[in-house]
Structure 1
Amino acid sequence: MECGLLGRKLGHSYSPQIHACLGDYSYTLFEKEPEEVEDFLKSGDFTGLNVTIPYKKTVIPYLDELSPAAKKLGAVNTVVRREDGTLFGHNTDYFGFASLLKRSGLDVAGKKVLVLGSGGASNTVTAVLTGLGAEAVVISRSGENNYENLQRHEDAAVIVNATPVGMYPNTGVSPVDLKRFPKLEGVLDVIYNPARTQLLLDAEALHIPCANGLWMLVAQAKESAEYFTGTSIDDAVIAKIYGTLAAQMANIVLIGMPGCGKSTVGALLADRLGRKLMDADEEIVRLAGKPIPQIFAEDGEAVFRDWETKALSQLGKQSALVIATGGGCVTQPRNY
């Protein structure tokens, strides 16, 4: 059975790793330009496909049948080639977000939920929330409810980010200031890379329950696999895959003063875990263009700390690293 992911620029996708845990089928990344999509769908040698941006709407005219969910959302992320050769389209993002919301423990019935963004992810999130009895308010850049009149909605109980703001590699920015919403009970972000977007870091600082989109990614893949294989898969597999993937994505950071052994231990960890070791001091030297003693001598500690923050910011955007850094980094809250 040949399955895969259809997109334009797929980069590093976690989908092959996830689907390897879901069924006995091959899973290939298919990068196609817009003009190639029709021919690929009609003649492609595949049994099942996941579809990602920018083709979730593009594929619809070439499909023979859509599920009710796909029709409702106007987007397809799962395509199955039936035995008679016809193509069936479904949307498993609905199940994915519903599963994430359930896991979060947030009760949205009768409550105002702000959905940031007006694209495909926003449509899915809004459909799930509305189905659960929430008052879903879509915030866009130019719609009736926008970022210039957020004061209308400071009574919101939940915020869901369905925009790419804060996603790798453009991290460190948040779509909204959470301090404006004193009644918040929870914050969800459909982004999963980085694991902690600036929005989620802000939520943590305010002690607001929050979660990223990794669970949603795994859950939607699980339902896709059910369509690919024609079999039912226990929901318990979602938690298992999520736990494994979250641990693999997380960086291991060793913090200590010079001579404490962090470079030695880091090298051992990297070797045994198959990870790349990155030394923050080496990154500082690369960025600053001069040795650390020279930075201290010519510019002082404050400037060194600025370079340190820049180095850690670059390293922190990556995943599955072993990072060795000096003990002084913890004196700067911005490095968290």
Structure 2
Amino acid sequence: MIYGLIGEKLGHSYSREIHQELGMKSYELYELEPGQVEDFVKRPAVSGLNVTIPYKQTVMPFCDTLSESAKTIGCVNTLVRDGAGKLHGYNTDYDGFIYMLRRAGIDPRGRKVLILGTGGTSLTARAAIRDLGAGEIVIASRRAGKEETEGDGDGGCIVRFASYQDLAALHGDSEIIVNTTPVGMYPNAPDSLISLADFPDCQGVADVIYNPRLTGLLHQAAEKGVPYTDGLPMLVAQAKAAEELFTGRPIADEELERIIGTLRNARENIVIVGMPGSGKTSVGMAAAKKLGREFVDIDRVVEEREGRAIPEIFREDGEAVFRAMEAAVIAEQGKRTGIVIATGGGAVLSEANYLPLKQNGRIFQITRSLDQLSTDGRPLSDRNTLKEMYEQRRSCYRRFADEIIENDAAVEEAALRLIAAFQGTRE
């Protein structure tokens, strides 16, 4: 029996891990070219499949029956073969999308909702939002011409179509924004199709992307204090619904939060900032070893790539050149998941470094009293300037850090504090 996920590019999919957590140990990923889809789906050995981009509509003609939600939405993300060999198509993304919104406290009822994108996930979002009682839905597309009115949907919900260039001018009063496009997805973070500054009435943002955790769009929502959600809760909830169809057995709703927490814990980075000599590297290395994670020291990566020590880079090229090198490495490493990252003491001086570090991580400031800070091999540190440097950077550390960890005793003790804080901060 074959169970798994079919799609075109699945290198960063979480589906195998989710279904294994749900009890399906034989679940696999199958990357298929367009010409391979029909033959694969029609294999008698296929018992159950999830379907992702770009085949959610491709598989519909191969189904013997379609669920009402699949018919209404116009796409399928779950296939189940029964004992008679018949193939049935379902849309469990619908269930997952509603769970994601409710979990984040985002309620479309009576509100104007802007959906970015027109693909299969957009169709699902549109149906779910309509059924949740939205007052008006605007679908944004790169190919849309002038604004059109599709007509009254169920419950009197007006559905309109608009081009991206018209959004701010014509639909700046949108109250909930949903991104169903791949814009902002790894490795192209933190790209975003829109600026929330153009939507002053926004009261909620949902992005179906789950890698990175904090897309450019969600970062804007977080900065504005607007409720937001990434796509991981949707992914897990739709997988639970699909698994129930595969096996015919109910799964407790409590499993959803357990699996979301497990995935968050495994993939979220631990990011360490702090003054030079505060113990970022030693504490980070100790924590990484205990957790079985890779440790990345941003300063060391710069040195290895340049073939020079940092004091030499400062002396020969100046601080500005070093900061540009540092920023490039941070942008690269911040896209990774499940690692421990220690930054240089001055990385917080550039606001541009915040989102690359935050997108997949929780940021911790390691602190130590100034008279205990090491100054050896640090081009900007000496005993006479440390206090001045700290005063200059204090607000920057506060801006970046989610939590403070004191390193006032043994390194092992600080590492344990860091791990405890990290593992205790699930959402």
Gaps of 5+ in 1: none
> Alignment partner for residue 279 of structure 2, among 235, 248, 261?
261
Aligned residues, how many?
A: 336
Pairing of 1:49-60 with structure 2 (within 5 A): 49-60=49-60
Match of 1:83 in 2: 83
- Please report how far the alpha carbon of residue 268 of structure 1 lies from its aligned counterpart in structure 2 after TM superposition: 2.9
1:323 aligns with 2:341: yes
Cα 1:24/1:114, change in 2 over 3 Å? closer
- Please report how far the alpha carbon of residue 121 of structure 1 lies from its aligned counterpart in structure 2 after TM superposition: 1.2
Match of 2:193 in 1: 175
- Aligned-residue Cα RMSD (Å) equals 1.7
Q: Which amino acid aligns with 2:164?
A: Y
- Please report how far the alpha carbon of residue 158 of structure 1 lies from its aligned counterpart in structure 2 after TM superposition: 0.8
Kept in 2: contact 1:288–1:307 (CA 8 A): no
Pairing of 1:84-163 with structure 2 (within 5 A): 84-134=84-134, 135-143=136-144, 144=147, 145-150=162-167, 151-163=169-181
Kept in 2: contact 1:287–1:311 (CA 8 A): no
- Please report how far the alpha carbon of residue 254 of structure 1 lies from its aligned counterpart in structure 2 after TM superposition: 2.2
1:229 aligns with 2:247: yes
Kept in 1: contact 2:189–2:215 (CA 8 A): yes
1:250 aligns with 2:268: yes
Partner Cα separation in structure 1 for residue 51 and residue 120 of structure 2:
12
Q: Which amino acid aligns with 2:166?
A: N
Partner Cα separation in structure 2 for residue 81 and residue 289 of structure 1:
58
Match of 2:374 in 1: none
Partner Cα separation in structure 1 for residue 300 and residue 80 of structure 2:
49
- Please report how far the alpha carbon of residue 258 of structure 1 lies from its aligned counterpart in structure 2 after TM superposition: 4.5
**TM-score between both structures, scaled by the size of structure 1:** 0.95
Kept in 1: contact 2:101–2:229 (CA 8 A): no
Matched residue SS, 1:326:
coil
Kept in 1: contact 2:44–2:85 (CA 8 A): no
1:73-120 CA-to-partner distances (Å, cap 9, x unmatched) read 221111111111111111111111111111121221111011011111
Kept in 2: contact 1:266–1:322 (CA 8 A): yes
Q: Which stretch of structure 1 is more off in the superposition, 282-291 or 268-277?
A: 282-291
Partner Cα separation in structure 2 for residue 159 and residue 187 of structure 1:
5
Kept in 1: contact 2:93–2:238 (CA 8 A): yes
Q: Which amino acid aligns with 2:204?
A: G
Rg: which structure is higher?
A: 2
- Please report how far the alpha carbon of residue 257 of structure 1 lies from its aligned counterpart in structure 2 after TM superposition: 4.2
1:151-202 CA-to-partner distances (Å, cap 9, x unmatched) read 1111111111111111100112211110111111111111110000111111
1:335 aligns with 2:336: no
Cα 1:115/1:289, change in 2 over 3 Å? farther
Match of 2:259 in 1: 241
Partner Cα separation in structure 2 for residue 314 and residue 24 of structure 1:
34
- Please report how far the alpha carbon of residue 283 of structure 1 lies from its aligned counterpart in structure 2 after TM superposition: 2.7
Matched residue SS, 2:39:
helix
Cα 1:287/1:70, change in 2 over 3 Å? farther
> Alignment partner for residue 329 of structure 2, among 294, 311, 314?
311
Kept in 2: contact 1:287–1:307 (CA 8 A): no
Q: Which amino acid aligns with 2:345?
A: G
Q: Which stretch of structure 1 is more off in the superposition, 23-32 or 314-323?
A: 23-32
Cα 1:107/1:84, change in 2 over 3 Å? same
Partner Cα separation in structure 2 for residue 44 and residue 270 of structure 1:
46
- Please report how far the alpha carbon of residue 324 of structure 1 lies from its aligned counterpart in structure 2 after TM superposition: 1.5
Partner Cα separation in structure 2 for residue 12 and residue 271 of structure 1:
25
Partner Cα separation in structure 2 for residue 183 and residue 260 of structure 1:
43
